[in-house]
Copies of this chain bind each other. A is one copy, B any other.
């Protein structure tokens, strides 16, 4: 439960809001590299943190991310021509390069110096891990590019997708932090899921549906430990990494299966991008694995063609199947892990009213993550304090699932397992 004031602080991310300014200090996954497949190809509308932008790949292959609207008369650059290292507005021909400089102004006298006075808002972009990243904050504070393990791997060891989620980023991210709901919302999915094949962890999960939670602060965010009974001597620990400001990593189900992670990025206060990544640090993904991911299985989804909106969405009640719900094929009647989460999270309303919640011990991770975000936003606003997780070394972490003797604190016991070394395999029960 949050006060109305804290909830507002948490969910608002437009420019000038404390949380919006916090998020602008990090690199942001902006779009898939494959959305801009070729030089001088078609530009793409991008909305991030409430700002309408346009992305394009220029003649030299560089990606630009500009204000969507021409500086002259505010026509959208969606209609512009992408040609010869710049985007030329279709209204009066003003042309901008990837840095937002006006490089041609053919409607004005050649002797005019006007074009040199025009600079369109432009955010620096970098490509890594199949993603175009952007930085929307003060240039002097631009950090190093993120070094999340999945972003550093060779392309054949990773599959990335994004989907539109029609609610505030925070209620989407809370699902990624919250290990507890897996035993319910996804209960009847886990056996089928190709990413969970043949893992002893699943048995522990089913046997003990009331895990004890312990949360510890990490340099980059939080370690959220869910402890379940395993045998006489040991606990089964699933430890989720949450990394500031919006990354979550799913604890593994066996070392033979790929890992999974997410990023939860605000489009505006009522919508977000749910990024879903599968990856294996030590081997290429198999054809079978890739085929199932492309088909929208596991944490991925099927889209309405030409969009990143899921076929199952709130307009069609997520294609709920009451027969499947009754027959225990699905817990809620909604198919697929991602849409099970999205349907529940979107059902809270576009922006969840957290003054009405009643939180329990299983919500410890969520409570701590909110606190850390609120605290970082306030410290930045009030004391100009740099937020955590700017240093890429803090990103090189793994979630893990381990058996630990009953007396051993999870943070110490799993310490080595939680270091990411791209190229090496990982620890998992």
Chain A interfacial positions (CB closer than 8 Å to B): 42, 69, 71-76, 78-81, 89-93, 105-110, 112, 114, 117-118, 174, 180-181, 183-185, 209-210, 212, 317, 320, 322, 325, 331-334, 340, 343-345, 347-349, 352-353, 356-363
Contacts and interface: CB of A to CB of B under 8 A. Distances in A.
A43 to B, nearest CB: 9
Contacts of A93: 183-184, 209
A348 B74 CA distance: 6
Contacts of A345: 75
B347 A79 contact: yes
13 contacts: A42-B322, A72-B357, A74-B353, A75-B344, A75-B347, A76-B348, A78-B317, A90-B331, A90-B340, A92-B180, A106-B210, A107-B184, A108-B360
A106 B184 contact: yes
Given A73-B357, A91-B344, 15 more contacts: A69-B347, A72-B358, A72-B360, A73-B174, A74-B348, A74-B353, A75-B344, A79-B347, A90-B344, A92-B180, A92-B185, A93-B209, A107-B210, A108-B361, A112-B361
Given A106-B209, A344-B79, A348-B76, A91 B357 contact: no
Nearest to A91: B344
A173 to B, nearest CB: 13
A102 to B, nearest CB: 9
Contacts of A357: 72-74
Contacts of A110: 210
Contacts of A112: 360-361
> Dominant SS at the A interface?
loop
B181 A333 contact: no
Which of A75, A91, A332 is most buried by chain B, counting CB atoms within 10 A of its CB?
A91
A90 B349 CA distance: 16
A345 B79 CA distance: 11
Contacts of A332: 79-81, 90
Contacts of A352: 73-74
A105 B360 contact: yes
Contacts of A79: 320, 332-334, 343-344, 347
* 8 A-B pairs closest in CB distance: A76-B347, A90-B332, A79-B332, A93-B184, A75-B344, A107-B362, A108-B360, A74-B348
A62 B151 CA distance: 54
A333 B347 CA distance: 39
Nearest to A345: B75
Contacts of A209: 93, 106-107
Contacts of A109: 210, 212, 361
A359 B184 contact: no
